[in-house]
Amino acid sequence: MNAPISIVAERETLLAERRRATLVLIGLFWLFAFVVLSLRAAFVDTIPFEVMAPRRFVYACFGTLMCVGMVYALDRLHGSTFSRRVLWGVAGAILMAVVQSLFNNVIVRELFPIPGIAPMSVSIFVQWMVVWLGYFLAWTGTHLALTYHWDAQDQQMRTAAMRELAQEARIAALRYQVNPHFLFNALNSISSLVLERRNEEAEVMLLNLAAFLHSTLAADREGTIGLDEEIALQRRYLDIEAARFSERMKVTIEVPEALAHARVPTLILQPLIENAVRHGVDRSEQITTIRIVAAADRGQLRLVVEDDGEGDGPSRRGTGLGLANVGERLQAHFGDHGRLTAGPLSPSGYRAAIELPLELAA
């Protein structure tokens, strides 16, 4: 529930910032108009500044209201094409220039007349309309350019959000491949124990399986977990397999304390350890050691799972799904910064190693 609320809050904050930017733009426009008209009057008009300044202030207030109204009108066309908004913007600028000229005439000749000022002729009215049209076209063009820039930003954010959602969906799909694949193998092992009338081992394995699944379902809420949590999950899995292979399986885990809180994708080690059990321990007559090692080098975290079992030799038939899943998950999470390497050891055994960016939890 928090994520949608956060997105809405961020959107509201962004819209508020844009509204403030629009009001600032209007204010700067009319401040500029006031200054330019005052400078022009200083060289051309004979009417003192202190006489015209209050009237120009009224012009600016009226013009500000018209620009705010124009912003509202253009916002109503938000879903339209940009060319249509430009067309309406030009039409609005012409209309505002006419209204502004009429309003100014009423101010200086009707409401607050200036003694000695001549009545406005058609030619003077047209001249002032052209002057105001230049101002309003400049303001409208600037506003349309700004809204176009904001629309482009919104489109980029939507594209990035959709890309991120697609990536999250892909990661989740890969993540959910792990449990069904593992569950099938675990239930198959329990079935074998039952058929062999090894009921106590089957019961222990079933209880450990329930505990493991409970832990993994709780971990589903996060895309990544601490390495210590990942190792704890794998210990639960190894407890499951210990019911069958306790006499033939030895496990060593070497994780430095400094790397305990490194972030890793949830259950990223599961297919690698499962392969070591299924194709190393299960198919070897001798005691097989599974070794799990973590190390850091140049900003990269390296995780290694290896065994010295005889198994199927170099080919390791049947490991394709697990290794492919790990490789795709690393690619989905980290792109070219995450990779998987795997191959046989000499004279026997198998090693799988993953590398990913080292990220320590705060």
Mean pLDDT of 298-314: 81
Which CA distances in Å does 233 have to 39, 94, 129, 278, 327?
A: 77, 71, 77, 18, 20
pLDDT at 212: 77
pLDDT at 116: 65
For 261, the enclosing helix (H) or strand (E) is none
Average pLDDT, the chain: 81
pLDDT in tens, 197-244: 888 888 888 888 887 777 766 654 457 889 998 998 888 888 888 877
pLDDT at 2: 45
Specify the higher pLDDT residue, 276 or 321: 276
Distance CA 191, CA 197 (A): 10
Distance CA 265, CA 122 (A): 77
Q: Does the domain spanning 198-357 belong to CATH 3.30.1180.10?
A: no
Dihedral-angle region of residue 349 (phi above 0 means left; psi in -120 to 50 means alpha; beta otherwise) = left
Q: 80: which DSSP letter? A: S
pLDDT at 1: 41
The full set of domain ranges for the chain reads: 2-161, 198-357
**In the chain, pLDDT over 70 holds for what percent of residues?**
83
Residue 265's nearest CA partner among 319, 229, 291 is 229
* Radius of gyration for the alpha carbons in the chain, expressed in angstroms and rounded: 37
For 279, the enclosing helix (H) or strand (E) is none
Mean pLDDT of 234-256: 86
pLDDT at 314: 40
The confidence band for 255, taking pLDDT boundaries of 50, 70 and 90, is very high
Mean pLDDT of 331-357: 89
* Contact status, residue 259 vs residue 298, Cβ threshold 8 Å: no
Distance CA 29, CA 20 (A): 14
pTM: 0.53
**Phi, psi angles (nearest 5°) of residue 187:** -65, -35
pLDDT in tens, 105-156: 888 777 777 776 767 778 888 888 898 898 899 888 888 888 888 888 887 8
Distance CA 10, CA 161 (A): 14
Mean pLDDT of 257-282: 89
Position 148, amino acid: Y
pLDDT in tens, 67-80: 998 888 888 887 67
